[in-house]
Each structure stands twice: as structure tokens, then as C-alpha cells.
Amino acid sequence: MKAILPLTAVTCLLLISVSPLPSSSSVLPREVNNEQAKDGTGSVWLPARTECCPGRKATIAPVPLHPVIDVLVAPGDRVSKDQALVRLDDDEPQADVRNKKALAESAKIVLEEADRYLKKAEEMFRDGVYAEARYFAARTAAQKALQDERAAVAALESTTAELEHYEIQAPIDGVVCWLEVCPGMVSRPGTTVWGEIMDLSEIDVRCEVSLDQVDKIKVGQIAQVRQTRKNGVLLSARVVMVGIRVDAATGLVTVVARVANGQNELRCGEAVQICFTEADKGK
């Protein structure tokens, strides 16, 4: 009995010295605040992400359903607008162009002969040696030959224009981001994209700000954008869009600033930080 009493005393002392664990109800969730990143001057840096400017991204995709015969570029290549990228087999459309060209030339010959015959018929009709019915038949034939010639020329122009789709060209200046196509491939138009071209000489930076912050931001205002990685660059930007809708889930408003990115310091989809100057300084 005497041995049990000291043991009980030690156990009680241990229980008293151990601090109680906090209950789950006392642990509050950390409040999300997009104003936490501040530098030594107190400027607020908001998280943002870069994206391609509207009109500076284009797809590489087939138009006619014909096999690929040649791929002229590779991912990473810088291309110019209207530069040939991919060539498709065009034997059939080339033959169709030759056929339409022959039909147009034939229609032209028929028109020339119909006009020549009409002039003779008019002279003979005025002299009274040509029946009226035959004269009007000559006029009708000349008018029909004229319309046939116009239709043949239009068909030739349409077929020639269609032939241009068998050489896939770059819609914009930029860099081929990715390209997945090879000779022999046949893809159904409207359902397949072979690659993408981006022009990042200018790039947009999108961020989400609170209602209190958005009231201080105006279109045309100057902002600073910096990369989050070590030794990242600092670039100047200008606000091009201030959202007019509040996101129902976050309560934030979208703001977009545009950066001159001539040296391609920023990549599309890169996480960055942005700091807005005061509105009066941005004017």
C-alpha cells in the first residue's frame, strides 16, 4: 500500500504538467487575404497569371479532308503571317482547276463566235434578207454565251481559291508552341487541331482584386509586374480591362493589365505578382 501512494503522486504531477490539447472548435481557418505580399515600401503585390492577348493566338488545323504530304515547321520555330506550315495532297484539286480553266477558255471561244455571228445577223436583218426569228435566236445565243462564260470564270475562281486550303499557312506572326502532325495523317476538318501559334510580344496579366481595391484601379493606370522566381524581371504594365462583374464564389473582380514583352521574359500561363500604382500617378 505504501508503494502505491508515491506512484499515484507521480502520475498526478505528470498529468498536471501536460498542457491540454486545443479542441477542434477552437482552431479557426486561416483567412485568405490577397494583400499579404508586401515589399519593404509597403506596396501591395497581388498574385496574378499571364495569358495570351486576344488576337495573338491562332490554331493550325486542316480544312480539306486530304492526307498530309509535308510538314515544313517544328515546335519552337518563329513564323510569319501567310508562311507555309503544312502541305496536303492536292492532285485532285489541281486537276479540277485545269478542268475548270479549260471550260472557261471554251466558254470564252463560244462567246466570241456568238458575238461575231450576231453582228452578221444584225446586218442581214437590217437588209431584210434575214428572218426575224433567226435574228432573235442569234441574240439569245449571244446572251446565253455571255452568261455561260461568266459562270465558267466564277467556277474557275472558286476552284482556284479552294486550292489554297491545301497549303496550311500561318494566320499570324508568332512562335509555334506545339505541333502534332506527320506525313500521311488524314484528319477530319472541324474536329482536329494540329498545333498552335502564339505571339507573346505583348502579354496580358490577369488578377483578382477585392471590391475595395477595384475602386482604386482605372483603365490606363500603370502597374508593375514581377516574376515570382529568383532573379525574376520587373516589367511595367498598363491596365486594359477592369471587370464589371463580381465573382459569386470569391467576391472578387477581374483586372487585366498588358505588358510589352518584346524580349519574351514572360511566358504564357506563368504565375507572377502585380502591384498597382495610385490612379493619379497612372494618368
**pLDDT tens string 212-239:** 999 999 999 999 999 988 788 899 999 9
**Quick check: 220 and 239 in contact, CB under 8 A?**
yes
For residue 178, pLDDT beyond 70: yes
Mean pLDDT over residues 151-176, rounded?
94
Q: According to CATH, where is 1.10.287 located in the chain?
A: 91-164
- Tell me how far CA of residue 258 lies from CA of 236, 237, 268, in angstroms: 9, 5, 12
Model confidence over 64-77: pLDDT tens digits? 999 999 999 999 99
Identify which has the larger pLDDT, 122 or 283.
Answer: 122
Reported as a pLDDT band with limits 50, 70 and 90, residue 42 is: low
pLDDT at 30 over 60: no
pLDDT for 29 equals 34
Mean pLDDT of 15-39: 44
pTM for the predicted model, two decimal places: 0.68
Chain segment 245-270, per-residue pLDDT in tens? 999 999 999 999 999 998 889 999 99
Question: What is the band of 44 on the pLDDT scale with cuts at 50, 70, 90?
Answer: confident
Residues of the chain with CATH 2.40.50.100: 57-87+166-198
Say whether pLDDT at 20 is over 90.
no
- Per-residue pLDDT band for 18 (boundaries 50, 70, 90) equals very low
- Which triple of cell numbers denotes residue 193? 487541331
Using the predicted structure, report yes or no on whether residue 32 has a pLDDT greater than 60: no
Percent over 90 (pLDDT), the chain: 68
Q: Is residue 5 pLDDT above 80, yes or no?
A: no
What is the pLDDT at residue 101?
95
Q: Percent of the chain, pLDDT > 70?
A: 83
What fold, for 57-87+166-198?
OB fold (Dihydrolipoamide Acetyltransferase, E2P) (2.40.50)
The confidence score (pLDDT) of residue 135 equals: 86
Average pLDDT over residues 165-176: 95
Class of domain 37-54+200-276: mainly beta
Sign of CA dihedral 163, 167, 173, 177: positive
**Long-range pairs for 86-91: beta carbons < 8 A, 24 or more residues apart:** 86/60, 86/62, 86/167, 86/168, 86/181, 86/194, 87/166, 87/167, 87/168, 88/62, 88/64, 88/165, 88/166, 88/167, 88/168, 89/166, 90/66, 90/163, 90/166, 90/167
| The residue to which cell 436583218 is assigned | 125
Please report where in the chains the cell 432573235 appears, as a residue. 136
Q: Which fold has domain 91-164?
A: Helix Hairpins (1.10.287)
Q: How confident is the model at residue 126 (pLDDT cuts 50, 70, 90)?
A: confident
* Cell numbers given for 83: 508562311
| pLDDT for residue 15 is more than 70 | no
Q: How confident is the model at residue 127 (pLDDT cuts 50, 70, 90)?
A: confident
pLDDT of residue 152: 95
Residues of the chain with CATH 2.40.30.170: 37-54+200-276
Mean residue pLDDT of the chain comes to: 85
Contacts of 46 (CB under 8 A, 6+ apart): 34, 35, 37, 207, 208, 209, 213, 273, 274, 275, 276
Give pLDDT, residue 190. Answer: 87
